[in-house]
Amino acid sequence: MRRAIAGAFALVLATFFVISNLSARGNDETAAEGTRESVIGVIDAISPDSIHSFDLKLVSFGTRHTMSDTVSPTRGIGAARRWIESKLREFASSNPNFEVFKDEFTQPVSSRISRPTNIVNVYGILRGTEGPSGRYIVLSGHYDSIVGNFMDSTADAPGADDDGSGASLVIEAVRAFTSSGFHPAANIVFLCCAAEEQGLYGSHHFAEMARKNGWNVVADLNNDIVGGTRGGNGVLDNSEVRVFSESLREVTIGERKIPASVFGYESDSPSRELARYINEAVKMYLPGFNTDLVFRSDRFLRGGDQISFNEFGYPAVRFTEPNEDYNHQHQYVRLENGVQYGDLPQFVDPAFVAHVCRVNGTAAALLSLSPSQPQDPVMMVDKLEYGTRLNWKNPHSAGVSGWKVYFRETWQPLWTNWVFVPDTSAGDDIEAILPELSKDKYIFGIAAVGKNGVESPVVVPLPGR
């Protein structure tokens, strides 16, 4: 558990003092309570019955293979994407801050695309007060499906769990956010991707588009196979969801690229800090449900759309059920030796998907209401010394009460301790000095704290001179 360190260390700022207890964060109690009520409003709006109905509708299209029928009104990926778009537009009709879009392109022939294929990502944006130039939080899931032969575009591929569960979650998240009247500061994107099974083509195109358009994407919460509670190993678990996140491979200091392992920063990538943020959010808002943090980008021999966002430098995680059943993934529907194969709706637990949707909703809501992260954080290593000096740029985000400097010993997976640095609004540069904490023993991170009680994800300072 994170805990405040009271009065043990000196922080050098414009006013030269430490504030390290919860009552001294500078929170506006009214704003903090309003924030909590708005987040709970989203959580309470999420319905397992609604998710179940969306999943059944996606399954009803027979197959959603990327190269399946695009003309039929009832079968194939074309019918599926038109239905997804219609649902998002239905929600948009009652919320003027929500807009619906399509990201459409032609994918040329490749190892899993036998002919030039039209690929369509369907998405909506809940506009925040920061406007188009502000931050973006993405909730994603893919709506395409496959069977055992990934080139078979005509066989039934129900895809109830992979990834009807994730796509249904995204659609339900739209319904919850728009119907609850949630008003974010950052923009929230709800994305249903195509062509994941054929090579992550849809998400790659979307992430590339976001980069070209200069979007400041601070998180992708990707949901892929989030419906099953009983695994092929016989284990039943409906109390947690796995959260995968990539490691940090290297850090850039000046013009030098240095392996992250040199500094012991392998587990402090932006994606890992996002995973830790989600873990803390769940503890605060969803007691009784857990996030199982897996410090890998994905499972062995598998991949997901979060990888596309990582490739373009965006923090991203993948949510996946705790125990998978491979008889219900990428299988032709059949009964063989008394075993039912196929990705069918009866193997999806809507109540569990709703829990995972609440995890997504809580994290996205808090991220969208948090202040911007500290900019360009540096841990000074210009001389031999016993303590630690940290510098960062003030992004002058609205409503900041101060900064929390987190630290943990190098062997610990989660942040354990922190001190609070009040925001004096004195300038662009902020310095914190911790004379009793050796940079050789601890890993440090910095988060901005809003007057509404919401923190930004932690950002880890890089060594500098």
Q: What is the DSSP letter of 260?
A: G
pLDDT digits over 199-223, tens only? Answer: 999 999 999 999 999 999 999 999 9
Instruction: Give the mean pLDDT of the chain.
Output: 93
Predicted local confidence at residue 63, as pLDDT? 98
CA–CA separation, 384 vs 1, rounded Å?
32
Q: What is the DSSP letter of 428?
A: S
Instruction: Please give the average per-residue pLDDT across 118-123, as a whole number.
Output: 98
DSSP per residue, 75-124: SSHHHHHHHHHHHHHHHHTT-TTEEEEEEEEEEPPBTTBSS-EEEEEEEE
State the angle between helix axes of 164-179 and 350-369 in degrees (0 to 180), rounded to the nearest 10.
50
pLDDT digits over 75-103, tens only? Answer: 999 999 999 999 999 999 999 999 999 99
Predicted local confidence at residue 22, as pLDDT? 33
Q: Grade residue 159 by pLDDT with cuts at 50, 70 and 90.
A: very high
Instruction: Please give the average per-residue pLDDT across 282-290, as a whole number.
Output: 97
pLDDT digits over 234-259, tens only? Answer: 999 999 999 999 999 988 888 889 99
Three-state DSSP state, 401: strand
Predicted local confidence at residue 4, as pLDDT? 45
Tokens linked to 362: 């809580």
Predicted local confidence at residue 12, as pLDDT? 37
126 class by beta-carbon count within 10 Å (0-12 exposed, 13-18 middle, 19+ buried): buried
In the chain, how long is the greatest CA-to-CA distance?
75
pLDDT digits over 253-262, tens only? Answer: 888 899 999 9
Cβ–Cβ < 8 Å for 216, 129: no
- Number of Cβ within a 10 Å radius of residue 365: 27
CA–CA separation, 330 vs 325, rounded Å?
11
Nearest to 2 by CA among 378, 319, 452, 458: 458
Cβ–Cβ < 8 Å for 361, 188: no
Instruction: Please give the average per-residue pLDDT across 44-62, as a whole number.
Output: 98
Cβ–Cβ < 8 Å for 39, 51: no
What residue ranges define each of the domains in the chain, with the CATH number in brackets? 3-32+375-464 (2.60.40.10), 46-369 (3.40.630.10)
